[in-house]
Amino acid sequence: MPLFDSSKHTTITGGHFIDHSTNNNISGQTGIDILREASNRDAAHDSAARDYDPRCLPGTREQHIEDVVYWAVPPAGADDPLPLFWMKGPAGVGKSAIAQTCAEKLKDLGKLGATFFFSRNGRDKAAEFIPTIIYQLSIKFPNYRALVDHRIRNDRAILDKTMAVQFEALVVEPLQELEKAGKGTGKRIAIIVDGLDECDSVEDQRKILKTIAAAARSGTTPFCWAFFSRPEPHIEGSFSHTDVTQITRTTVLPISNDADSDIELYLRDGFENILRDRDICVKSQWPSDGDIQVLVKASNGLFIYAATALRVVARAGFPEEALRAVCANTFGYTRNSPFAELDAFYMLIMRRIPPDVLHTVIFLCKLLCNAMPYADGIQTGVMLRSNMLGLSEIEFRTVCNHLSAVLYVHDHDDSFDSTQFGDTNRPFQRIAPAAIDLLKYDIRRRLGGSIYFYHKSFFDFLTDLTRSGTFCVVFSPGPDAYYKHCLGVVLKYEESYSLRGSGEV
């Protein structure tokens, strides 16, 4: 029915109206509902799923944080800042912590538009990037939300189009329409993108940068974009293009002992939390200054080392014993590599695994590192992984405990609501295919919880023979044993198949 079809003697002056009565969406969902399903809510900086992810302690990384905030919110009278910012650095130097802290500070200043924190731990799909950014912007700007909702209602397939088309139709055009109507979002709204190198496709990483750089050059949106990533060759190549370099401020976060004082503060705060969590009050200093300096030196500029050391001590039955083991592991390790101490630390973790469990731990690591592709594409489901290993929940959790310093098992607190996928009273085969796919994904992701490495540096260690040696998941245990195990799982499942009418149960 057309807008105001039955009204009489009605006069309306001004206003902005959208008629939803003639849209092509018959599912009962709003356009924002559809957008929300296509997004990844866990990728936002304030998502509960990222509650334990790193952030900078007060008094640490201050210059780097100030540089980003100053770039995003320049003081009055400052030269026009460039629309792109790229902080690059190797794994483990603290980029994500800086990105997280900057996002929180910019939000407090009212200048944060959206965030996306990529991760191999379930936040690596390029297809979710643009919808997630749009969804967050739609929450922040109501007028923009109404336009986006209308466009998606009229053309749900727009979310299946290319990244560039989505950006133009759902970001550029609505914002320009609002600007013409005098309802713009304001100038210089920051969007933070962390871990671009962990997006699942190198080509998609290039597409993301190409799409954003094109918009930044043309000035068609009020956004400034801050990227935090490792300096992978293809990302370096994208930022090195002349037309991108001219609009980008680049800063390097190197592996450097300049971070030693910040790492020391981080360690001292972490050990104080360990004592506090255990309700322990001691008169003497713990750890000693000597132990702290050993760990600072061993960190060699990598916050990931310090974070991992704290987790080992925090989860040990006797923290002092664990601290002694960690400190002892750093002595005499002189291999010429910036990751030498980190590798030695990971080796310590692997060597402490009991021999009768090690074989299974390696198999689990193989699964998590995606050493061989799986059609389902889900790499973090606890139930799925435990089934692949043929383990009960207790056995699986026992295996995970041996990697607790580098591996996190997340139990989903929210209950599973099947009604979000449609009418559960209808036959399953009549549910839309897209809803079935979402149902499969959600079940596999939630049942039993999710499992992932705390940091990609452990993944890099496990997949590099020169670093992990006999623990390398590519070669140990042998591929033949791994394939035989997977084949055995398949054959076991096939034994339970039955053909309808065969009389078999």
Q: What pLDDT score was predicted for residue 7? A: 59
* pTM beyond cutoff 0.85: no
Band (pLDDT 50/70/90 cuts) for residue 421 is very low
What's the CATH number for 31-254?
3.40.50.300
229 - beta bridge partners? Answer: 88
Q: Name the DSSP class of 168.
A: I
Residue 375 has pLDDT above 50, yes or no: no
Q: Where are the domains of the chain?
A: 31-254, 259-350, 353-412+448-494
What percent of the chain is modeled with pLDDT above 70? 77
φ and ψ at 223, to 5 degrees? -95, 150
Q: For the ranges 18-32, 47-61, 321-335, 360-374, which has the lowest average pLDDT?
A: 18-32
pLDDT tens, 97-143? Answer: 999 999 999 999 999 999 999 987 788 999 999 999 999 999 999 99
Q: Which residues are paired to 190 by β-bridges?
A: 112, 224
293-319: pLDDT as tens digits: 999 998 888 898 898 899 889 988 899
- pLDDT surpassing 90 at residue 481: no
| 426: phi then psi, degrees, rounded to nearest 5 | -85, 155
* pLDDT band, residue 391 (cuts 50/70/90): confident
Both tokens of residue 264?
């020391």
Q: Which helix (H) or strand (E) holds 192?
A: strand 189-194
CA angle 350, 355, 359 (to 5 degrees): 75
Distance of CA 222 to the CA centre of its chain: 25
pLDDT digits (tens, 9 = 90+) for 226-245: 999 999 999 999 999 999 99
Q: What is the tens place of the pLDDT at every residue in 492-503?
A: 655 555 545 555
Query: Which pLDDT value is given to residue 500?
Result: 52
47-62 pLDDT tens trace: 988 877 788 999 999 9
- Please work out, in degrees rounded to the nearest 5, the angle formed at the alpha carbon of residue 464 by the alpha carbons of 458 and 470: 95
According to the model, what pLDDT value does residue 340 have? 76
Q: Round to whole Å and give the CA distance between 430 and 238.
A: 45
